[in-house]
């Protein structure tokens, strides 16, 4: 969720920050069914932009699809060996109590049909587990033990319409239910994406089974463009009955919005799980059922995350599982053997990969985790989900990123790195890494100097400034988090206005003469980047760069290419405009001196700062601290 402004709600709205009494369905546990639905057969997506072949593939004939059913012509073949059609057998065997799965479906026949339950192994080799030749309408059930999938493999169905048309509906994968089914709530954090949020809420309401599974939906609105004013939201709200709660509060970023959901739900029922969900996703409602079922069947309480598919390239998976490298202040690192930026029409994740954490585009947090480790840290946004996942693991709670459960989210590579959000990335990477590992002050100082030097030679002076702001505020210690990030947000956004290259211009009307631009493509990446950086710094410092106005595409905007020039027009990552960079020796000198001073202090104070941040964690993550930030008093909660 992009928290892009700092305006809080007014005092007259303060009473709306307090939730109504929790829905009755959330306040009690559930009596389990005889069999629990683990996932359903879905045959078309929630939007026309989504390929049907992410759900089922049909060959040799035509098919008529509806959301939960499909009809194929005589002679056609179909299968669910697809992204949303597969059953992730490896994950269910490794992490849950399920030892056997049943897949049942209702069929209507025009003649003989052959149905097979197929499986794969870690290498993707196919084998038949069970099969049935069906000659009459009715219910077909096939079974498979989960006993050969620890390191990888999945299950799916194959259909042959041998003797006539074949219709399939009510397809479900089930297992013997556990003794207890915990209630589950969804918490959606939103900021001035009212229309997107309304569509996400409507997607949840569109599926009666999903509505029956979830016990509450909390929409935490931190913006000035109220979701409750959207016609779609008003139309959808009655479908939830008593289950929907709408809250207004100050803009405390993703951390503050998602934490409010955890805060409200854990106060209502200490046994209730919470699914955190972004406002600006394309929601696949089936994912809610799959995450919730998995969490109810795990051997130990487990954070269960959805994968992220790209919204603008909806066939593509962002990453199969992520981990961190805190020693170099990095999150979002691909787990070895996990798929990344991969078309899920062409490849499947056969190998089981174990995540270090899961981002909060959609992620289930078990009640036991909140009870044991407390609430998230108030760092506004960026790294808050990482920190919570790391803290959970340190207390014995693992994270599973579940394949074949996903939502679509805006593609990250369409977001430009030179943005005010870099402040939070810079500051919070240091905070979170200091909390969970012993950073090497010399190594971190050298690394940050190298990164800022690359920004300076690439004439990204505003980006260097924003990065330094984050480091400087980290150096202030945990006191900088007292207001939840609102002052930091305002400072990060406004100060960037002093740097002209941070402004995005329409490509056709940018304040340059288009006839003066010459496009220059980058050559290969340097084999000795450290030496090239020194060379480029000298060239920028002495002015021995290529004159004239040069145009550089986004794909060529590497520091080692842009730094060859004096005046550059660079395409923004969003492809919605351009940035204009111009060499400024005086500004580079001032930022370089500032970098030297800041990193000298970081190198000296880092061990003590780590100690202070760790000591402050119990207070920062306490319910009392979050109540203070929300403006909730003891009277409000009575």
One DSSP character per residue, 546-571 reads EEEEEEE-GGG--HHHHTTEEEEEEE
Residue at token pair 């985790």: 369
Q: How far is CA 479 from the centre of its chain?
A: 28
How many Å apart are CA 74 and CA 62, to the nearest integer? Answer: 9
Q: Which two tokens stand for residue 222?
A: 């931190």
Bridge partners (DSSP) of residue 569 are 551, 580
Residue at token pair 């809420």: 201
SS3 of residue 638 by DSSP? coil
Residue count (the chain) = 638
277 to 105, 181, 218, 219, 288: CA distances (angstroms): 30, 21, 10, 10, 10
How many Å apart are CA 588 and CA 457, to the nearest integer? Answer: 8
How many Å apart are CA 510 and CA 489, to the nearest integer? Answer: 28
Name the DSSP class of 9.
P
CA angle 289, 290, 291 (to 5 degrees): 95
Q: Phi and psi of 175, rounded to 5°?
A: -150, 165
Residue of 447, 50, 73, 96 lying closest to 290 (CA atoms): 96
Question: In terms of DSSP bridges, do strands 578-582 and 565-571 run parallel, antiparallel, or are they unpaired?
Answer: antiparallel
Candidate list 385, 411, 473, 572, residue with the active-site label:
385
- Quickly list H helices, 269-420: 286-297, 367-373, 384-394
Residues 6+ apart with CB under 8 A from 546: 564, 565, 566
Bridge partners (DSSP) of residue 219 are 188, 246
Q: Is 315 assigned a catalytic role?
A: no
Please say whether the beta carbons of 412 and 318 come within 8 A. yes
How many Å apart are CA 86 and CA 104, to the nearest integer? Answer: 14
What end-to-end distance do the CA atoms of the chain give, in Å? Answer: 31
Give the residue numbers annotated as catalytic, written as ranges. Answer: 385
């Amino acid at each position: 969720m992009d928290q892009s402004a700092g305006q809080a709600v007014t005092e007259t709205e303060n009473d709306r920050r307090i939730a109504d009494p929790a829905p009755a369905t959330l306040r009690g546990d559930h009596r389990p069914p005889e069999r629990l639905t683990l996932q359903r057969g879905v045959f078309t997506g929630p939007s026309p932009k989504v390929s049907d072949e992410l759900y089922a593939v049909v060959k040799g004939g035509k098919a008529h699809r509806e959301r939960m059913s499909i009809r194929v012509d005589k002679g056609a073949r179909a299968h669910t060996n697809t992204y949303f059609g597969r059953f992730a057998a490896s994950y269910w065997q490794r992490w849950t109590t399920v030892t056997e799965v049943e897949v049942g479906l209702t069929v209507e026949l025009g003649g003989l049909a052959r149905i097979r339950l197929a499986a794969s192994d870690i290498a993707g080799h196919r084998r038949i587990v069970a099969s049935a030749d069906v000659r009459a309408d009715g219910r077909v059930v096939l079974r498979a033990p989960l006993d050969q999938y620890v390191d990888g493999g999945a299950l799916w169905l194959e259909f042959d319409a041998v003797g006539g048309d074949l219709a399939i509906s009510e397809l479900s994968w089930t297992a013997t239910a556990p003794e207890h089914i915990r209630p589950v709530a969804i918490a959606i954090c939103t900021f001035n994406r009212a229309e997107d949020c309304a569509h996400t809420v409507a997607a949840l309401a569109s599926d009666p089974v999903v509505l029956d599974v979830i016990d509450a939906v909390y929409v935490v609105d931190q913006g000035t463009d109220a979701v409750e004013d959207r016609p779609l939201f008003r139309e959808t709200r009655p479908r939830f009955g008593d289950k929907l709660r709408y809250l207004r509060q100050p803009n405390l970023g993703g951390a503050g919005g998602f934490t409010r959901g955890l805060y409200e739900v854990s106060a209502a029922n200490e046994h209730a799980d919470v699914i955190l969900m972004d406002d600006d996703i394309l929601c696949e409602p089936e994912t809610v059922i799959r995450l919730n079922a998995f969490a109810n069947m795990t051997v130990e309480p487990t954070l269960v995350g959805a994968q992220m598919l790209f919204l603008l390239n909806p066939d593509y998976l962002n990453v199969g599982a992520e981990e961190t490298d805190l020693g170099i202040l990095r999150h979002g690192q691909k787990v070895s053997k996990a798929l990344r930026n991969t078309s899920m029409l062409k490849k499947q994740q056969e190998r089981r990969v174990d995540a270090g954490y899961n981002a909060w585009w959609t992620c289930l947090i078990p009640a036991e985790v909140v009870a044991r480790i407390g609430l998230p840290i108030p760092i506004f946004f960026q790294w808050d989900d990482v920190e919570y996942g790391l803290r959970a693991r340190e207390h014995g709670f693992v994270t599973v990123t579940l394949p074949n459960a996903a939502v679509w989210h805006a593609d990250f590579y369409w977001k430009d790195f030179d943005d005010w959000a870099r402040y939070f990335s810079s500051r919070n990477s240091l905070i979170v890494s200091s909390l969970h590992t012993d950073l090497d002050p010399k190594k971190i100082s050298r690394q940050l100097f190298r990164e800022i030097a690359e920004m300076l030679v690439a004439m990204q002076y505003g980006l260097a400034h924003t990065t330094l702001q984050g480091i400087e505020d980290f150096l202030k210690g945990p006191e900088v988090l007292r207001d939840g990030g609102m002052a930091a947000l305002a400072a990060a956004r406004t100060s960037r206005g002093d740097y002209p290259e941070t402004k995005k211009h329409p490509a056709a009307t940018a304040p340059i003469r288009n006839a003066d631009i010459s496009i220059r493509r980058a050559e290969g990446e340097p084999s000795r980047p450290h030496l090239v950086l020194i060379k480029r710094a000298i060239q920028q410092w002495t002015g021995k760069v290529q004159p004239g106005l040069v145009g550089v595409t986004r794909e060529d905007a590497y520091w080692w290419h842009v730094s060859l020039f004096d005046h550059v027009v660079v395409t923004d990552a969003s492809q919605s405009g351009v940035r204009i960079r111009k060499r400024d020796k005086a500004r580079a000198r001032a930022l370089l001196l500032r970098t030297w001073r800041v990193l000298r202090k970081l190198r000296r104070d880092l061990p003590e700062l780590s100690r202070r941040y760790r000591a402050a964690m119990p207070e920062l993550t306490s319910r009392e601290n979050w109540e203070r930030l929300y403006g909730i008093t003891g009277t409000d909660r009575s």
